[in-house]
């Protein structure tokens, strides 16, 4: 069979540890036999980030800007222990943070549902998509340790030399302080991508912040969403028979748990980080969730929401064959290939992505899966290693 051809390269961002191993296996077993892969390859493995003083991360984001579609492997965000483990020149920033800051936009995360795995929340019947703002707040913070008594103030110095200041706290002893920011432009594009996504999906949009406590910061998010909705989207939502609904984050959490699902829940950056992990785990597994960053100017970066699965990697290094779930990473590739196919008018490429996803679901529904899923599966499940799982998916793809 002739390989499916691509027109424009995908930006390929390789990563670390167990997911780096999965990455190579997925390409070898499930992609290369069917698609003449064209990628602009960037090695975001920690060693190479260190060698390039993290320039490779910036370059990969710029390449995503150039080509429009990227697929990213999970990467280590270094902490003190990693600095020692890898002998790093510096405690490099989170690659996701760097890429998101350059692309801006919103991360949409939705669970991958399979028959045989029921959500832990009994009322949930439909997937809940989390729309996570991908710019600013605690991910672009400035922090300081306070060593003793003294005053902390917020000071704004205008370009015209004007000044605004407000006290933060009068410290009587040691403590900590942090400054965070966001931009009207970023919040507005976050709002627009959520409204567009809701219309595209025909699903209600919920948005929540803590505006009762954060009367200026969080309130700005609420106001901008409402202004943009009233001016630009209210009529389209009415026509589509969907609603936009704002509520406090704690009220949203309670309502989500009681709901049937099926909505898009827009969250600020940190809320979205935490809530997407909770929603994914409640739907089955962190490894059963798709994640895509959509920038306001229409750039797509697909990834898995989980990390580099360090514990499995250390077992792999000892010679074991871990049963690490590759589904989210496969779906990152299929999402990117499908989008490339749509943008380049290559139905064969998009069709391949659809078939591969179906083969993954059919393999699991047929009772072959990794250990994380086997523990939840209703029915008889055969736990296999990652490689065996990929081969089972390949067999399913061949027979379809």
Positions touching ligand NAP (CB under 6 A) are 74-77, 96, 286-287, 303, 306-311, 324-325, 372
What the block records as the tokens of 235 is 């009529």
Q: How many CB atoms lie within 10 A of CB 15?
A: 24
- Minimum distance between the CB of residue 174 and Mg ion, rounded to whole angstroms? 30
Closer CB to ligand NAP, residue 74 or residue 346? 74
What the block records as the tokens of 199 is 């219309």
Q: Which residue is nearest to ligand NAP (CB)?
A: 307
- Minimum distance between the CB of residue 87 and Mg ion, rounded to whole angstroms? 26
Q: Which does 204 bind (CB under 5 to 8 A by kind): Mg ion, ligand NAP, none?
A: none
**If you search the block for the tokens 């009529």, which residue do you land on?**
235
- Minimum distance between the CB of residue 341 and ligand NAP, rounded to whole angstroms? 24
Closer CB to Mg ion, residue 54 or residue 273? 273
Alpha-carbon distance of 75 to 92, in angstroms, equals 12
Q: What distances in angstroms separate CA 281 from CA 120, 252, 289, 325, one per listed residue?
A: 8, 18, 9, 13
273 is a contact residue toward Mg ion (CB under 5 A):
yes
What the block records as the tokens of 106 is 């919103």
What the block records as the tokens of 53 is 């003083």
What is the distance, to the nearest Å, from the Cα of residue 148 to the centroid of all Cα atoms in its chain? 39
Burial, 303: exposed, middle or buried (Cβ in 10 Å; 0-12, 13-18, 19+)?
A: buried
What are residue 126's phi and psi, to 5 degrees? Answer: -120, 155
- Minimum distance between the CB of residue 310 and ligand NAP, rounded to whole angstroms? 4
Alpha-carbon distance of 390 to 385, in angstroms, equals 9
What the block records as the tokens of 211 is 């505006």
Q: Which does 273 bind (CB under 5 to 8 A by kind): Mg ion, ligand NAP, none?
A: Mg ion
Q: Give the number of residues in contact with Mg ion, rule: CB under 5 A.
A: 1
Question: What is the rounded (10 degree) CA torsion for 81, 87, 88, 90?
Answer: 70
Closer CB to ligand NAP, residue 59 or residue 277? 277
- Minimum distance between the CB of residue 138 and Mg ion, rounded to whole angstroms? 12
Alpha-carbon distance of 272 to 328, in angstroms, equals 18
Q: Which does 76 bind (CB under 5 to 8 A by kind): ligand NAP, Mg ion, none?
A: ligand NAP
Q: Which does 286 bind (CB under 5 to 8 A by kind): Mg ion, ligand NAP, none?
A: ligand NAP
Query: Bridge-partner residues for 290, per DSSP?
Result: 110, 304
- Minimum distance between the CB of residue 330 and ligand NAP, rounded to whole angstroms? 11
Burial 113-127 (b: 16+ CB within 10 A, else e): bbebbebebeebeeb
- Minimum distance between the CB of residue 253 and ligand NAP, rounded to whole angstroms? 22
Closer CB to ligand NAP, residue 43 or residue 211? 43
Closer CB to ligand NAP, residue 77 or residue 234? 77
Stretch that binds Mg ion, among 61-69, 237-245, 270-278, 296-304 (CB under 5 A): 270-278
- Minimum distance between the CB of residue 203 and ligand NAP, rounded to whole angstroms? 25
Closer CB to Mg ion, residue 273 or residue 301? 273
Whether the CB-CB separation of 143 and 339 falls below 8 Å is answered with no
Closer CB to ligand NAP, residue 211 or residue 372? 372
Whether the CB-CB separation of 102 and 140 falls below 8 Å is answered with no
303 is a contact residue toward Mg ion (CB under 5 A):
no
Closer CB to ligand NAP, residue 75 or residue 363? 75
- Minimum distance between the CB of residue 195 and ligand NAP, rounded to whole angstroms? 26
Q: Which does 307 bind (CB under 5 to 8 A by kind): Mg ion, ligand NAP, none?
A: ligand NAP
Alpha-carbon distance of 49 to 59, in angstroms, equals 11
Closer CB to ligand NAP, residue 17 or residue 204? 17
**Taking CB under 5 A as the rule, which mask of x and - marks residues 86-115 in contact with Mg ion?**
------------------------------
What is the distance, to the nearest Å, from the Cα of residue 244 to the centroid of all Cα atoms in its chain? 23
Burial 314-324 (b: 16+ CB within 10 A, else e): ebbeeeeebbb
Positions in the binding site for Mg ion (CB under 5 A): 273
């Amino acid at each position: 069979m002739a390989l499916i051809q691509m027109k424009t390269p995908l930006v390929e961002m390789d990563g670390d540890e167990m997911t780096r191993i999965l990455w190579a296996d997925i390409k070898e077993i499930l992609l290369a036999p069917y698609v003449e892969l064209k990628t602009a390859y960037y090695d975001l493995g920690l060693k190479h980030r260190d060698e390039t003083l993290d320039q490779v991360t910036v370059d990969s984001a710029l390449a995503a800007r150039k080509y429009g579609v990227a697929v990213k492997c999970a990467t280590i965000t270094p902490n003190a222990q990693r600095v020692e483990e890898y002998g790093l020149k510096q405690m490099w920033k989170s690659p996701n943070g760097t890429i998101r800051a350059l692309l801006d936009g919103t991360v949409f995360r939705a669970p991958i549902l399979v028959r045989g795995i029921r959500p832990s929340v009994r009322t949930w019947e439909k997937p809940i998509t989390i729309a996570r703002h991908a710019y600013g707040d605690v991910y672009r913070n400035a922090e300081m340790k306070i060593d003793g008594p003294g005053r902390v103030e917020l000071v704004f110095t205008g370009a015209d030399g004007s000044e605004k200041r407000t006290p933060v706290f009068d410290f009587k002893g040691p403590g900590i302080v942090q400054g965070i920011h966001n931009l009207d432009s970023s919040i507005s594009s976050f709002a627009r991508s959520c409204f567009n996504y809701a219309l595209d999906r025909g699903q209600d949009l919920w948005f929540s912040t803590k505006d009762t406590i954060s009367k200026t910061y969080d309130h700005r998010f609420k106001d901008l969403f409402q202004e943009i909705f009233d001016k630009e989207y209210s009529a389209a939502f009415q026509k589509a028979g969907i609603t936009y609904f704002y509520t406090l984050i704690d009220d949203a959490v309670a309502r989500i748990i009681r709901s049937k699902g099926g909505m898009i829940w827009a969250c600020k950056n940190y809320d979205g980080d935490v809530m997407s992990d909770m929603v994914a785990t409640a739907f089955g597994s962190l490894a059963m969730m798709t994640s895509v960053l959509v920038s306001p100017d229409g750039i797509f970066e697909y990834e898995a929401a989980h990390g580099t699965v360090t514990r499995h990697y250390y077992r792999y290094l000892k010679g074991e064959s871990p049963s690490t779930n590759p589904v989210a990473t496969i779906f990152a590739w299929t999402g990117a290939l499908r989008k490339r196919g749509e943008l380049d008018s290559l139905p064969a490429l998009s069709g391949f992505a659809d078939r591969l996803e179906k083969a993954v679901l059919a393999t699991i529904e047929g009772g072959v899966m990794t250990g994380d899923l086997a523990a939840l599966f209703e029915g008889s499940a055969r736990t296999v290693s990652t490689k065996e799982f990929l081969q089972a998916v390949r067999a399913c793809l061949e027979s379809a």
